[in-house]
Structure 1
């Protein structure tokens, strides 16, 4: 027999059409974890890979994160047969005298993150996880939670974790200082960027933490908190506005935009749609919300996202540590179960009763101003052009935040070898080298502007090299213009979209002056040079396991040399499914823009990208 990794996915074979299908999915996702619970129930160790925090905190993560799906299942009347295991684990994990104690608490510690799921459980289903405990166990559990909520949390979405712990403590009648709760809520609201967007702390980036954390937790608060009606209304109103933008981060097949960190949380990205339902916020017609929600989980059901025993892997479209973060332990992926929040709603809720509606058609580019993005809906895909995001303190940050283009269908590549310029992908990116070995690409920015549906940024790969980049939608193409000022010679490589590679080298390629094309079995990807001095086209196959969705990919590139002085590179890139009319698009690449007009337009109408502008 040939091993089929997609069959190990607990979602495989589930039609995922109805509420009952999702209830089944929660149990199917949880059951592979049972062999890995410790004898006392407090610790769940799913693998040997490490994270920046200690093993006890990682084991708590494995214990707590499944609750994000289990709790809504039970709240909505579903049967979960292992509450005794969770009650035993909760009592033992919070008991300093027990061998499975989760460990001492500290400021900004990972335990504070995971205890939010416990608070959520106490708030929503105390009859299952709190009321059956003995009095001495309740004392132990409450003491641990109160000690946790009194500590300091990181200045970002973590501040919601105190709020969630407090919702649970309040529900079960444990006293605490509400002043600290209000302080964190006020500080979280101060991260509002306008138009429904937040920033996730004092940082120049907005990513999936905005929908699956900031909005997700805010909408839970809007349902479960007592009083505070004005704030709850603000949370609902922001989510209602945000829905009109974040729908452009989802493709017509249900795939979410692969962008930013924590991609291993996978279908947590669709949790925002479920949170709208949970909070009764009909931001779009229920049929559309349900369509976005259900298409998303079905997309994941066909992906090889689990190990052979059905445990979710670290990775995205397949097991892959290369794309992970230092805080990803083997239990981290189970934040994906936040997706199942609307299981807490009854069968007759309008969300569940609605028939799924397809994604609306968007023929024109859509500017997502707060994030510094422009979305283009192309056949089978959404391409998002981006300027104004950055993260300079994590592995792969350049690729996760600073590429020129991201895609729901093609995701992005992480560079695997920073000392092999010739083997680098640079998909959606311009790479530069001054020695032919090491390389730089866009990382941090000096300026980021959005002018209608056009983007501008200024950045420095080295202190003495300045690059101005304009990004222009030209559906299904997009155009990149780079004006480069350098005091020395540089080599350049610029990449298009990475598409899936077939076995046995069955794909065809074309490479010539100013052009490279891959004709794959499923997609066609092209890059064309519109510069006055065209670069050489190059059809390459990136290092395996660098793309988030496909383990093996194909990538068209343009390669060239620059001398000292000022140079202008103009690039057009596109990719389309093979079933689409790619030949027509390929035959008519977009014309070269007028850079003087483009510069004038940016300066006269451009505004600073709110996500980038920390002064706003």
Structure 2
């Protein structure tokens, strides 16, 4: 038998054009889990990989997360044949006397996350998961949920989980103190940073948690909560504004921007578009919303995202633990099923009857001001420049948040060996080393400013080394200017975009003074030095399994040495699909900008990036 990637995706072969196609997709994604349910139905263990929380909580994750797709399917009249299994699991898992008890609750505990799916199910389809329970089972389930809502939830999107638990309890007639619900909702709204954007807690970053968590749960609240109309209107107003920005995190082929943590949740990124539909909020024309939504799931259907038995694997474009977070258990990827929320809507809803519209044209760069990002649409791709994002408490945080540029078509690489400077990728990034072995790159920022479509950041790879970086779009290229002040000599490597590598050395490369190009089978990626003193071009093949989408990639780099004092490096980089006019672009790289003019522009017009500027 030869490994067939199409078998490693339950969505493969599904045209994913209609509501019925999506209903089938939910069942196809769920059925591979059936052999892994425990006898009592309360636990689903999908693999041996561990997470920071205990196995019982991970098993609850495997049980609960599929509900995000199953519940809308049932609410919209679809048939799910395994409700008895879920009811049995809920009754047993919340019963301290049962061998499959999910475990005691505690502040900031993973169980609080997963119980949100149970609350969602109680709120939307109590006839399937609550009403058939015996009175004793109902008391057991209610006691567990009531105990959960009294605990402390992490100060970020987790606070919506108490809200979702409470929506379920309210729907099934279980009394509780709603003052705590209102308090958490107020605290969640305090994360608003304007123009429809939130922070996910008191942090200097915005990521996919804004669309697929903050807005997603807020829009569910607008539909399921009773009263509270002023807050619901605020949630809706913010989502309507946000839609105009977040569409620039999606490419014309449906791919989402590979950026930030929790990429293993995959098509949860498209859940925002489905939440707009669920809330009846036509933030963009329904045809456009549906286009973003349906293209996204079709993009995922072509990738080998599951194991051989059809169980979604930790990873992104393929199974890959390197890019995972410490909180990713084998059941974690099933948050992807949040995508299917619109199945709760009837077939004749305007969202479902609309004809898909293609992504509009955006010939000029678009500033996403609260995020400190600029989106530039190029053939087959959206390139997003970033200054203002940082995360210093997880593996790969530098790569996930602090690169200069991200892309919907060319996903970023995670560095696999921090003691091998020569083998590092530094795609979309400048890497530096003072010993030729270990290395540093942009991690946290001292300042992040934005002036129109230009970005500025100041950062320190070492305490005694200061770097100022300016990012300038020059479609289809972009320009990076780095002014480096160092008391000692440093080695530097700067990378362009990583593209897919073919087998049998079928790709072609060029490398020389101040320039490197990879001519791949599907794409061309180039990098050019615009500095006064040219660095050496280098066509490298990064360590396998470091890129999020492709297991093997090609990457053009510039490599050089700088001495003590102040040095200015200027770089131009681009990548284009083979069907685009890449030859014209390669033959006409942008000119080196006037640094004095760029610096003056930032000085006169630059404003602090809201995502970076934490409130006191």
User: What secondary structure is seen at the aligned counterpart in 2 of 1:593?
Assistant: coil
User: What secondary structure is seen at the aligned counterpart in 1 of 2:590?
Assistant: coil
Hey, what does 2:5 align to over in structure 1? Answer: 5
The 5 A counterparts of 1:243-262 are: 243-262=243-262
Hey, what does 2:203 align to over in structure 1? Answer: 203
Q: Is the 8 A contact 1:366 1:375 kept in 2?
A: yes
Q: Equivalents in 2 of 1:331, 1:393: separation in Å?
A: 22
Hey, what does 1:234 align to over in structure 2? Answer: 234
Hey, what does 1:278 align to over in structure 2? Answer: 278
Hey, what does 1:544 align to over in structure 2? Answer: 544
Q: Equivalents in 1 of 2:122, 2:402: separation in Å?
A: 40
Can you list the C-alpha shifts for 1:509-543, whole angstroms capped at 9, x where unaligned? 00000000000000000000000001000000000
1:165 and 2:165 matched: yes
Hey, what does 2:122 align to over in structure 1? Answer: 122
User: What secondary structure is seen at the aligned counterpart in 2 of 1:468?
Assistant: strand
Hey, what does 2:83 align to over in structure 1? Answer: 83
Hey, what does 1:347 align to over in structure 2? Answer: 347
User: What secondary structure is seen at the aligned counterpart in 2 of 1:448?
Assistant: strand
Can you list the C-alpha shifts for 1:185-212, whole angstroms capped at 9, x where unaligned? 0000000010000000000000000000
Q: Equivalents in 1 of 2:553, 2:441: separation in Å?
A: 21
Hey, what does 1:29 align to over in structure 2? Answer: 29
CA RMSD of aligned residues (A): 0.5
Q: Equivalents in 1 of 2:41, 2:195: separation in Å?
A: 44
Q: Equivalents in 1 of 2:17, 2:142: separation in Å?
A: 39
Hey, what does 1:71 align to over in structure 2? Answer: 71
Q: Equivalents in 2 of 1:534, 1:578: separation in Å?
A: 28
Deviation for aligned residue 1:5: 2.0
TM-score by length of 2: 1.00
Q: Equivalents in 1 of 2:137, 2:275: separation in Å?
A: 32
1:535 and 2:532 matched: no
Can you list the C-alpha shifts for 1:422-445, whole angstroms capped at 9, x where unaligned? 000000000000000000000000
The number of equivalent residue pairs is: 616
Q: Equivalents in 2 of 1:615, 1:477: separation in Å?
A: 35
Q: Equivalents in 2 of 1:145, 1:7: separation in Å?
A: 39
Can you list the C-alpha shifts for 1:269-305, whole angstroms capped at 9, x where unaligned? 0000000000011000000000000000000000000
Deviation for aligned residue 1:605: 0.3
Q: Equivalents in 1 of 2:552, 2:505: separation in Å?
A: 11
Hey, what does 1:479 align to over in structure 2? Answer: 479
Structure 1: segments with no counterpart, 5+ residues:
none
Q: Equivalents in 2 of 1:7, 1:569: separation in Å?
A: 47
Hey, what does 1:53 align to over in structure 2? Answer: 53
Hey, what does 2:294 align to over in structure 1? Answer: 294
Hey, what does 1:307 align to over in structure 2? Answer: 307
Q: Is the 8 A contact 1:5 1:307 kept in 2?
A: no
Q: Equivalents in 2 of 1:149, 1:29: separation in Å?
A: 30
Q: Equivalents in 1 of 2:2, 2:385: separation in Å?
A: 40
Can you list the C-alpha shifts for 1:345-378, whole angstroms capped at 9, x where unaligned? 0000000000000000000000000000000000
User: What secondary structure is seen at the aligned counterpart in 2 of 1:505?
Assistant: coil
Q: Is the 8 A contact 1:6 1:305 kept in 2?
A: no
Q: Equivalents in 1 of 2:502, 2:20: separation in Å?
A: 37
User: What secondary structure is seen at the aligned counterpart in 1 of 2:479?
Assistant: strand
Hey, what does 1:135 align to over in structure 2? Answer: 135
Q: Equivalents in 2 of 1:450, 1:150: separation in Å?
A: 42
Q: Equivalents in 2 of 1:395, 1:310: separation in Å?
A: 27
Hey, what does 1:425 align to over in structure 2? Answer: 425
Deviation for aligned residue 1:3: 1.1
Q: Equivalents in 1 of 2:452, 2:580: separation in Å?
A: 29
Deviation for aligned residue 1:8: 2.2
User: What secondary structure is seen at the aligned counterpart in 1 of 2:504?
Assistant: helix
Q: Equivalents in 1 of 2:11, 2:275: separation in Å?
A: 21
Hey, what does 2:441 align to over in structure 1? Answer: 441
The 5 A counterparts of 1:326-341 are: 326-341=326-341
Can you list the C-alpha shifts for 1:246-282, whole angstroms capped at 9, x where unaligned? 0000000000000000000000000000000000110
Hey, what does 1:470 align to over in structure 2? Answer: 470
Structure 2: segments with no counterpart, 5+ residues:
none
Deviation for aligned residue 1:2: 1.9
Deviation for aligned residue 1:579: 1.1
Can you list the C-alpha shifts for 1:392-421, whole angstroms capped at 9, x where unaligned? 000000000000000000110000000000
Q: Equivalents in 1 of 2:139, 2:165: separation in Å?
A: 15
Post-superposition, which runs of at least 4 consecutive aligned residues in structure 1 deviate over 3 A?
none
Deviation for aligned residue 1:4: 1.1
1:610 and 2:589 matched: no
User: What secondary structure is seen at the aligned counterpart in 2 of 1:35?
Assistant: helix
Q: Is the 8 A contact 1:286 1:350 kept in 2?
A: yes
User: What secondary structure is seen at the aligned counterpart in 1 of 2:144?
Assistant: helix
Hey, what does 1:587 align to over in structure 2? Answer: 587
Q: Equivalents in 2 of 1:6, 1:512: separation in Å?
A: 40
Deviation for aligned residue 1:6: 2.6
